[in-house]
């Protein structure tokens, strides 16, 4: 398709833009429009679209701006919280990695020095009765075992309480 | 007579092209400033979305999303005209994203009758079927150029197309829709 712009197209566009078409259109321009396809198309299409725009705008179902304003504020707040939460997430991942490293190191250490302390676990089902009192008694009799039980238990408790405190503070 | 026809054109649509839209204050847009901007921009934006997508319900959703994104966007403080252009750009991107979704929501599957059912007015009955024959991109270009009165450079900014190609694309689209409009306005001239 060959693009052939008409020299009077701007004149027609200006009349349409100002809403002066066809009332303020000079007769010779009107005659030009009936002969020039480009200008005729411009006038026809612009008129149709402007009328459609007006009618569609009248039919628009507009909500209150306040609701949108607060929705945007909420979204901005959430985005800000997410931005702030990223370093916290990083710290959590780092802490988890450190914990995993310690566990692996501990297991490696134990593997190297034998797993003799696990023997009480093997004996546990054969015990005449399995009660906490018995555990504490055996821990008292074997001080090495008590440390093995107490340290991970304390670490787990500290970790869980930290998580609980974080979740509570986040909710607030 | 229907209520919309009683309304005066200038009371519904601000004449943005004539430059009578007030310029936004230099300070960031607060709630009151947004309310004013919304009052002046919501109807033209809804008209654009509804006529280009052919779906008034979709236009409702996309309009709200456009305004929310507009408020959330960190953009340099500019006048209202530039703000409105930015708003149309957001809406255009949302429309494009919508069309890229799975085919059940594609505009290509919307029946031709649906466009005519948006409004029963004379212009809608004339323009609806003609718009249905156009491609989504052509509808966008035509609406932005002839309904909103944006220049080629502004349309390029809104749609993300190259400014040089806007002129040719628009020329082709205009010629195509003008032929369709002429055919519809004088059905007796149609080929048997």
Amino acid B18: pLDDT: 39
Please state the domain extents for chain B: 29-189
pLDDT for residue B29 is more than 70? yes
- Which of B177, B71, B167, B102 has the alpha carbon at shortest distance from B133? B177
Q: How far is B104 from chain A (nearest CA, A)?
A: 25
Q: What is the pLDDT at residue A104?
A: 86
Q: What is the DSSP letter of B187?
A: G
List Cα–Cα distances, B101 to A83, B66, B140, B157, in angstroms.
28, 18, 18, 23
Task: Tell me what pLDDT residue B102 has.
Answer: 64
With 0-12 CB in 10 A as exposed, 13-18 as middle and 19+ as buried, what is B118? Answer: buried
Q: Which residues of B touch A66 (CB under 8 A)?
A: 31, 35
Q: Work out the percent of chain B whose per-residue pLDDT is above 70.
A: 68
Phi, psi of A12 (to 5 degrees): -65, -45
SS3 B177: helix
φ/ψ of residue A23, rounded to 5? -60, -45
Residue-wise pLDDT for A111-150, tens only, equals 777 666 666 666 666 655 555 555 555 555 555 556 667 6
Give yes or no for a contact between A74 and B71, defined as CB atoms under 8 angstroms apart: no
Among A102-106, B12-16, B28-32, B99-103, name the one with the lowest average pLDDT. Answer: B12-16
Written as six digits, the tokens of A65 are 């701006």
Per-residue CA distances from A69 to B12, B36, B85, B155 (Å): 22, 12, 19, 27
Residues of B in contact with A61 (CB under 8 A): 46, 56, 60
List chain A domain ranges: 9-58, 87-171
Give me the pLDDT at residue A130, please: 53
For chain A, percent of residues with pLDDT exceeding 90: 7
* Element spanning A44, H or E: helix A37-58
pLDDT, residue A172, reads 56
Inter-chain touch A58–B143, beta carbons under 8 Å: no
Average pLDDT over every residue of A43-56: 89
Indicate the residue of B9, B56, B147 with minimum beta-carbon distance to A52.
B147
CATH superfamily of B29-189: PhyR, sigma-like (SL) domain (1.20.140.160)
- Least confident range of A14-28, A48-62, A141-155: A141-155
Question: Helical H runs in B54-186?
Answer: 56-72, 80-100, 112-116, 122-132, 136-142, 152-159, 163-185
Chain B residues with beta carbon closer than 8 angstroms to that of A12: none
Tokens at residue A165, please? 């405190």
Chain A 6-35, residues with CB within 8 Å of chain B CB atoms: 17-18
Residue A107, Cβ density class (10 Å: 0-12 exposed, 13-18 middle, ≥19 buried): exposed
Contacting A residues, span 42-71, partner chain B, CB-CB under 8 Å: 42, 44-46, 48-63, 65-66, 68-69, 71
Indicate yes or no: CB of A62 within 8 angstroms of CB of B42. Answer: yes
Q: Residue B12: what pLDDT?
A: 44
Average pLDDT across chain A, whole number:
77
């Amino acid at each position: 398709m060959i693009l052939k712009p008409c020299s009077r197209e701007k004149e027609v566009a200006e009349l349409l833009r100002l809403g002066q078409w066809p009332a303020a259109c000079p007769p010779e321009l009107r005659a030009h429009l009936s002969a020039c396809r480009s200008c005729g198309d411009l006038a026809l299409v612009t008129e149709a679209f402007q009328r459609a725009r007006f009618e569609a705008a009248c039919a628009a179902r507009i909500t209150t701006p306040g609701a949108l304003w607060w929705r945007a504020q909420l979204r901005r707040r959430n985005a800000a919280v997410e931005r702030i939460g990223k370093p916290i997430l990083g710290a959590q991942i780092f802490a988890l990695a450190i914990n995993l490293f310690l566990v692996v190191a501990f297991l490696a250490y134990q593997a190297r020095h034998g797993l003799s302390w696990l023997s009480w676990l093997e004996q546990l089902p054969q015990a005449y009765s399995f009660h906490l009192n018995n555990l504490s008694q055996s821990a008292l009799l074997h001080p090495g075992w008590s440390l093995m039980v107490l340290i991970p238990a304390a670490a787990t408790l500290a970790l869980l309480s930290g998580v609980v405190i974080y979740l509570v503070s986040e909710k607030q | 007579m229907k209520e919309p026809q009683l309304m005066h054109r200038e009371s519904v649509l601000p004449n943005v092209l004539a430059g009578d839209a007030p310029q936004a204050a230099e300070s960031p847009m607060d709630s009151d400033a947004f309310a004013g901007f919304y009052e002046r921009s919501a109807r033209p934006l809804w008209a654009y979305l509804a006529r280009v997508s052919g779906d008034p319900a979709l236009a409702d959703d996309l309009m709200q999303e456009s305004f929310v994104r507009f408020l959330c966007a960190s953009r340099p403080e500019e006048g209202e005209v530039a703000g409105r252009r930015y708003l149309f750009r957001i809406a255009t991107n949302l429309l494009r994203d919508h069309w890229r979704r799975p085919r059940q929501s594609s505009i290509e599957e919307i029946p031709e009758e649906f466009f005519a059912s948006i409004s029963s007015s004379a212009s809608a009955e004339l323009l609806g079927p003609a718009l249905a024959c156009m491609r989504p991109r052509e509808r966008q270009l035509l609406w932005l150029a002839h309904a909103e009165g944006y220049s080629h450079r502004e349309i390029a900014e809104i749609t993300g197309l190259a400014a040089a190609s806007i002129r040719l694309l628009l020329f082709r689209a205009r010629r195509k829709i003008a032929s369709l409009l002429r055919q519809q306005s004088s059905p007796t001239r149609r080929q048997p």
